[in-house]
Structure 1
Amino acid sequence: MSDEKRPKVLSCVSCRQRKIKCDKVAPVCTQCLGANTECEYPSRKPTRRAHRPRQSELLDRISRLEKIVGKANPAKLKEVNAALAGHAAPTQSTSRKATADVPEPATEPSPVLEREISTDIADTASRYLSVEFWGHLCEEVEGIKHALDEPSEADDDDDEGDDTSPESRETSYWDGAANHPSGFLFGNPSYHERDQPSHPPRDMLLRMWSIYLRNVDPLMKFLHRPSLTEEIQLFANSSSRTISPSKHALLFCIYFAAVTSLSDEACFVQLGQRKSELASKYRIHAERALAAADYLANPNLTLVQAVTIYVTMLRSYELSRSVWVLTSMVVRLGQTLNLHRDGDGHNFPPFEAEMRRRLWYFIVVLDIRGAEDRGSDSILNKNSYNTNLPTNLDDELFGPNMTGPIAPQPSPAENIFSICTARCSSTFGYIAHPQAAEVAASEKPLHTEEELINHVRSLEDAFIHTANPSNIVSVYASEVARIVILKLWLIVQYPFSAKSTIIPLRASRETMLRTAISVMELVEAMTSGFWADRFAWWTRGYMQWHPLAVALAELCIQTEGELADKAWTVIDRVFPTWKHSVADSSKGSLWRPIRKLHRKAKEARAGSMMKDLQIADAQPRSRPI
């Protein structure tokens, strides 16, 4: 009896439903014993003798697939592509306008096009990957899919290792995280799956949350501080520390943000460890937590909040183009949740509608800042979303349980900075990216100097004249508004692209140089002194290369005078430090032309000074009596 092959015991019904590993201990497995649930083992169905025909069917289908794919000769694909390109070239320019208005069908080519192609390249018909080929291929793959969907005894073992259900993600959170593609999209060469991420001890967890509230939350107001503080305190005081995968990811992104917002010295004093070590640790933990929550395939509001925090802080952590690339992912995740089409938010409860619009407009800010950082086009334009601006309101004045409408408060609220950056980004992007302005229908296009002045005055009235000196966030928002207003004048005169949305202003070169200097001085002041310990991470995150380039260009012409002397004093201060915070570092493609411009401006100034010396030496000197 011992030599006979015993039938394999199947997992109990409870473990199979929960998608967890069953140790198959009789009469009650360990998982059911711990969960105090009924443990019932299913009886095995009678063995069917259908395995051989099923395998034969699969082999036949695979054989037919090989024959179909064999018709595609890779060596002659270039010839086919060349023939197709030659056929399409004459009609491309003439059909461009028509295709702009009429969407192209996404199903299959028209019969006329098929006949034209077959006529023009009849000699390659046997090698052309036609609709017939794809039809046969899809038919065969669909057949294989149906065949593989049939149950078998081996499915039981495969299912035990499948942790894709929500229940499984709750009980064994980190299992299978490496199998998600989400973990490999952050561009982190240090990413690994070796150590299981763990939350910090209670005191350190609460300290990092406090740091986040002080340094990050005032500038990124899309988390609700009161309700999240209550959740974090419950989590920190809990012995089991059970929380959803989305909240796990959000917490690790908060840890990463808190550490990144600190200086090296402040991090060591407040957290007792070096910033480089802690930031690297929690960056990887945040990436693993996001991957385990499967943020790409199953996004929700909490996960998009977490990803937005991660991508925003990543720009302060490193200089690579990862942030620029990942910003498009954040935009798509927001669009997946339809954050951009909320309108006035009447389809959602008041609290949820407000949190959605706060998150969406920060994504808009992230897009504009990323485009400015790289000198590229923005992803979004004002015609692509209709969500209302966030409400000027403190977090304590609304919450998840409110049912009535949300009304703004008269004085600057806690989220005044977010409202300021949202409005500034909207106007800034509209002017800096004319391809977006061309189709914008939400407001009148900015085509005259007077209209631009009206927009500038509205920003001044909303954020500068009403700034509350006792509210540090309000004062910081007013400084940002000043910088944006000055940069608007620079962009109109020196646009990012050849096509401008504004008629060139009547401004002298001295005015442009003075404006560029003012921007650099304001930015320099915001990264030191009064703001340094809290918000310098935000200001340093995006080096103002455009005003610097404008100033250097003007200094190639304006080589002398008090204004030129002042400009060089400012440039000599910022140039050595800004090259370390520019995108892709000082060796990147953005800094190289600035470095050349800097050298040319210095040569022009030196040449002017040398000319003055020569003129002075050439003047006759009076002889002593």
Structure 2
Amino acid sequence: MSSDHPNLLPTRPQRILACVGCQQRKIKCDRKFPCLHCTKSKTTCTPATKIPRRRRRRFAEQELLDRLHTYEELLQQNNIDFEPLGQEVTTTKPSPDYSDHVETNGGITPASSSTTIHSPGVKPDLKSFWHAVNQRFRTDDEDGDSPDTEEYLDDIVNSAMDSIFVDDSSFLFGRQDTVDLSPLHPDPAHIFRLWQLFLDNVNPLLKVIHTPTMQVRIIEAIGNIYALQPPMEALMFAIYSMAILSLEDSDCRSTFAGSKPELLKRYQFGCQQALQNSGFLKSEDRDCLTAFFLYLFSYVHSSEPKALSSAVAMAIRIAQRMQLDSEYACAQHDFLEGEMRRRLWWALLLFDVRVSQLAGGKTKSFLPIFSTRTPLNSNDSTLAASVQDPPISTIITPEVAQEQPTESIYVVVKANMGNFICHTAFHLAYNAPELLPLVPTPAVHSSPGTNDQITHLEKMLESRYLSLCNPSDPLHFMTIWETRSLLAKCRLMEYYRSDLESSWTETQFDTACQHAIRLLECNNTIKSSPLTKPFRWMTRFYFPFPAYIHLLKHLKRAPLDSHARDAWDVMSTNFTMWLSEVFQNQDAIYMLMGKLVLGAWAAKEEVLVRRNEVLDPDEVPGIVTTIRKIAKEKRAREEQIGSDVGVDWLSGGSADVYGGGFAGMAGGGAAFDDTITNEFVNGLQNPWPVFGLDSITNPTIDPGMNQLDWTASAMDWGVGQKTTW
């Protein structure tokens, strides 16, 4: 019957494929043309059926290519020159100047780790389970290389899951009714002002917003503020919040006729609601994740680090679900989208590292288990969705260097440092000692603090980036000195990685002291320069506490060390710069700093007493004089109001400390317990406002106070957490 009446056979309806744009962005398509996502992004919606089918690769051919790929890797590992097959680009040739490293487009990693950059046309060996199912059960007439084939089952399963489970985040943040957010937006003139402040003060240090495209979208949004899509609205409120964060309270009052806490609270609430409306916990929208990242960053000066760290972990998990941690996944998108995903991943990763340090923990996200390369050293104007290959001028190699640094120089340098350090042995020793056996043992064992890897990293950064910067440019100035500060921290923390049972030589003590002084000198340069005024909101995020700890411990051990005068001078200068931002009227902070500072100074006075030498009052360091003065004023105020709580934590029970006598300060030099640090940090930090809670619980506390790295873990790349001093 079927042969007599072929037309009566039931015909299989042709499956409608996802559009090309949704396939490239790895998002669910509603399979209508134009689809919803392309309509929102105002891009051309091209049906996938218009793509000509490619020849199906036979299994035998694939097996042969896999074997060739394996042989090529073996040749590369043994540094044997050969002509590679296909489009895969592999860089294994070491730099002529930095022999311990492998250099790639925008990144640097230790030579011990093989670095492979897959082109978008080459698929990695490991695929999803759904791809394996499709490969096993596909028919000969199906195109195995079609980008939609392996996503077919994925779409079905995801759609089924979405229909089963309700999009409800009330279990975590509490149920919130949808509210009209349009009244929370500032007027158009203030929107443009906030946008410009964001571009001047915030975006150069984060670069998670593509300026040319976002500016067009903001202009369009202002024309119809009542019809904004939730992700875009969340992103706008996040931009408002970060712009306000970057200002001083006086600037907020003069420009926007409102206090900084009030404006910040208003825009953070708007961002909260817009994120809820976006379903951000399950969203695949990069704008939504960017808004969430900026929203979390807006709490760095008023949050409790442990709670903030937990919230940042949610953002990291969302980014991992979106495959921002996979270079292969980023390469599947167009050039602009792929690059913005790389920038967002590195911004999230480094933020997570720092917040985890402030919380006294260790982040496992900053381990060499992700493949996303560092961002390109390029201007936003060179990035365009139509560009399929990176501009030649943005590829940094030892042979081709930029004539001038770009507007991305700050994030590029920080990402390169992070990419390098997360592969080093001294980083893993502090954060993941279980991975140390995987690190190759160097042929020559150097003494602590003489890490050749850090030396090569410093040479690379200085020659490739810092030497090209203009010190009179605010962003370049910030890049130069923060990089040098972080390198000094890195060297200092490397010293403490050595075997604690072994003793240091005097030369090693001397070198470590130089690194600590260098760290404070760099911080003094950053804090004192008027060029860094737009970026002071970021500088408050990094307090050089490890340098204080090391110098004060060293000066207590060796009061007459050759570096003693320089150490006291640089600490006095730095303490004065941080006084109004961090230390003012914070009793617990003075308790800690007072015991450390006066204990070290008491050791020197004790030596002078034994030698029968008289101390010149003019030689008393400024930091000692300041702490004594504030303690004396506090005692006078407390006595005036009849308080029983004194300042004996400084004097050791003797009032003679205020007059400069030695007897009182001897008690102040008692070694402090690490529990003191934990107690006063936990007591001073405000609880982080989760969605729906009051964001300003104690406006009298200075925002910068929360950023002290009191756990002595201030190695900004995850080195040295929970060090026992």
TM-score normalised per structure 1:
0.62
The question of whether the paired residues in 2 share the 8 Å contact of 1:180 and 1:291 is answered with no
Rounded to whole Å, the distance in 2 between the matches of 1:338 and 1:440 is: 26
| Compared CA separation, residues 389 and 505, structure 1 to 2 (3 A) | farther
* Aligned match for 2:285, one of 278, 282, 300: 300
Rounded to whole Å, the distance in 2 between the matches of 1:523 and 1:433 is: 26
SS, match of residue 377 in structure 2: coil
1:219, distance to aligned residue in structure 2 (A)? 0.3
Structure 1 residues without counterparts, runs of 5 or longer: 1-148, 151-161, 166-176, 186-190, 618-625
Q: How does 1:138-537 map to 2 (within 5 A)?
A: 180-181=170-171, 183=173, 198-236=184-222, 238-318=223-303, 320-343=305-328, 345-409=330-394, 410=402, 411-429=404-422, 430=424, 431-434=426-429, 435-436=431-432, 439=435, 448=446, 449-469=451-471, 471-495=473-497, 507-537=507-537
1:477, distance to aligned residue in structure 2 (A)? 1.2
1:437, distance to aligned residue in structure 2 (A)? 7.2
The question of whether the paired residues in 2 share the 8 Å contact of 1:383 and 1:439 is answered with no
Rounded to whole Å, the distance in 2 between the matches of 1:457 and 1:278 is: 44
Deviations 1:577-598 (A, max 9, x none): 6588779x9677x997665433
Alignment-derived partner of residue 545 in structure 1: 545
SS, match of residue 299 in structure 2: helix
SS, match of residue 184 in structure 2: coil
Rounded to whole Å, the distance in 2 between the matches of 1:580 and 1:333 is: 38
Rounded to whole Å, the distance in 1 between the matches of 2:458 and 2:481 is: 14
| Compared CA separation, residues 514 and 202, structure 1 to 2 (3 A) | same
Letter in 2 for 1:542: Y
1:343, distance to aligned residue in structure 2 (A)? 3.8
Rounded to whole Å, the distance in 2 between the matches of 1:424 and 1:192 is: 44
| Compared CA separation, residues 465 and 401, structure 1 to 2 (3 A) | same
SS, match of residue 541 in structure 1: coil
Alignment-derived partner of residue 104 in structure 2: none
Rounded to whole Å, the distance in 2 between the matches of 1:595 and 1:350 is: 54
Alignment-derived partner of residue 691 in structure 2: none
| Compared CA separation, residues 404 and 614, structure 1 to 2 (3 A) | closer
Rounded to whole Å, the distance in 1 between the matches of 2:506 and 2:321 is: 44
Alignment-derived partner of residue 144 in structure 2: none
1:303, distance to aligned residue in structure 2 (A)? 1.3
The question of whether the paired residues in 1 share the 8 Å contact of 2:524 and 2:573 is answered with no
Letter in 2 for 1:338: Q
1:339, distance to aligned residue in structure 2 (A)? 0.5
| Larger CA Rg, structure 1 vs 2 | 1
| Compared CA separation, residues 344 and 453, structure 1 to 2 (3 A) | farther
The question of whether the paired residues in 2 share the 8 Å contact of 1:357 and 1:388 is answered with yes
1:415, distance to aligned residue in structure 2 (A)? 0.7
Rounded to whole Å, the distance in 1 between the matches of 2:237 and 2:602 is: 50
SS, match of residue 314 in structure 1: coil
Alignment-derived partner of residue 38 in structure 2: none
SS, match of residue 516 in structure 1: helix
Rounded to whole Å, the distance in 2 between the matches of 1:350 and 1:562 is: 55
Deviations 1:232-266 (A, max 9, x none): 01111x14542211111111111110000011222
Letter in 1 for 2:552: L
Deviations 1:214-235 (A, max 9, x none): 0000001121000001110111
Letter in 2 for 1:608: V
Deviations 1:426-475 (A, max 9, x none): 34444334244764899967775333322222222233222234643233
Rounded to whole Å, the distance in 2 between the matches of 1:453 and 1:285 is: 47
User: Percent of aligned positions with the same letter in both sequences?
Assistant: 22
Structure 2 residues without counterparts, runs of 5 or longer: 1-162, 395-401, 617-725
| Compared CA separation, residues 467 and 453, structure 1 to 2 (3 A) | same
The question of whether the paired residues in 2 share the 8 Å contact of 1:259 and 1:279 is answered with yes
| Compared CA separation, residues 474 and 504, structure 1 to 2 (3 A) | farther
TM-score normalised per structure 2:
0.54
Rounded to whole Å, the distance in 2 between the matches of 1:494 and 1:424 is: 20
Letter in 1 for 2:495: Q
Higher-helix-fraction structure: 1
The question of whether the paired residues in 1 share the 8 Å contact of 2:353 and 2:366 is answered with no
Rounded to whole Å, the distance in 2 between the matches of 1:456 and 1:580 is: 33
| Compared CA separation, residues 301 and 582, structure 1 to 2 (3 A) | farther
The question of whether the paired residues in 1 share the 8 Å contact of 2:230 and 2:278 is answered with yes
| Compared CA separation, residues 545 and 462, structure 1 to 2 (3 A) | same
Rounded to whole Å, the distance in 2 between the matches of 1:337 and 1:506 is: 51
Rounded to whole Å, the distance in 1 between the matches of 2:187 and 2:490 is: 47
1:498, distance to aligned residue in structure 2 (A)? 7.0
SS, match of residue 295 in structure 1: coil
The question of whether the paired residues in 1 share the 8 Å contact of 2:195 and 2:239 is answered with yes
| Compared CA separation, residues 505 and 493, structure 1 to 2 (3 A) | farther
Deviates more, 1:279-288 or 1:209-218: 279-288
Letter in 2 for 1:205: I
Letter in 2 for 1:418: V
Between Structure 1 and Structure 2, how many residues are aligned?
A: 435
Letter in 1 for 2:526: M
1:192, distance to aligned residue in structure 2 (A)? 11
The question of whether the paired residues in 2 share the 8 Å contact of 1:345 and 1:353 is answered with yes
The question of whether the paired residues in 1 share the 8 Å contact of 2:488 and 2:515 is answered with yes
The question of whether the paired residues in 2 share the 8 Å contact of 1:343 and 1:388 is answered with no
Rounded to whole Å, the distance in 2 between the matches of 1:334 and 1:445 is: 34
Rounded to whole Å, the distance in 1 between the matches of 2:333 and 2:433 is: 30
Rounded to whole Å, the distance in 2 between the matches of 1:582 and 1:296 is: 35
